[in-house]
A = this chain, B = another copy of it.
């Protein structure tokens, strides 16, 4: 076994900031020049096979040390091992190692106020602008993405079908969960700057250099981090519907409107107000506190709390937020 394996743990840490669903990003410093990277990446740490007992503990430990807060909800996403799409070797100080990425999803309540150096809360829409349908169908899909994909798609029927289904062209409905498939399609079609960079490195080129990118196609990230982010966002969007994970993003007390805006920010679609309330109330996941919110214009709203105890008491804490499109 000549080539050693290095396992990199990457975390998609999601929290709400100013009403937007954000992800914690870092700009790693180049060890030689001490310059921070122009591209953002996910919090990342190598797994120590000697000392660390589980991935889970290693990840929590790593994040706590780097950002000074403790992760609550954590779940494993996927393990990426494709050659040619691995993390930059420099990151982990390994010479000719094969780097395997284990991605994790973590959710944090809004309260936390971490600002370790070189970290930032970035709205995910910066990386996937086409995923935000809250204000209706994003124009850039038809003005930019569709034309850019035309040449690639017309090479086969299956490509055409994929583009149509994933980007909701020609009347196909939008499916907000397929974030990863959309990103992978753009990567395959060469429209993600990461693709060009990976090809370049495969040919023995120099380390990744940031280059101009089309804003409509989203900002690229370091190594395979945008791929992991897409996996995390898709997983979260799916999970909302059958597990009450959304409450991991809320504070102790919240209004139903705030809850709805959070679901909308994550899922990227607008919801029908009245029906959203009914669904939430029917599942009895929340409980009114009697207290009122101190306003932002209009009638004061009642504050609610998540009845966390039902997680142990009830069979399937189903939320089944059957996304009620407006």
Contact = CB atoms under 8 A, between A and B. Distances in A.
A48 B161 CA distance: 35
Contacts of A97: 49
B100 A53 contact: no
Total copies of the chain: 2
Interface of A: 1-7, 47, 49-50, 52-55, 76, 78-79, 81-84, 94, 97-98, 100, 102, 157-158, 161-162, 165, 172-173, 175, 312-316
The 9 closest A-B pairs by CB, nearest first: A49-B98, A161-B312, A79-B79, A5-B5, A3-B50, A3-B49, A53-B83, A55-B81, A54-B82
22 contacts: A1-B49, A4-B4, A5-B5, A5-B6, A5-B7, A5-B47, A5-B49, A7-B81, A49-B98, A53-B82, A54-B82, A55-B79, A76-B78, A76-B79, A79-B102, A81-B102, A157-B312, A158-B312, A162-B312, A165-B314, A165-B315, A173-B315
Given A2-B50, A165-B314, 15 more contacts: A1-B6, A3-B50, A4-B49, A5-B5, A5-B6, A7-B81, A47-B81, A49-B97, A53-B84, A54-B83, A55-B79, A55-B81, A81-B102, A158-B312, A165-B315
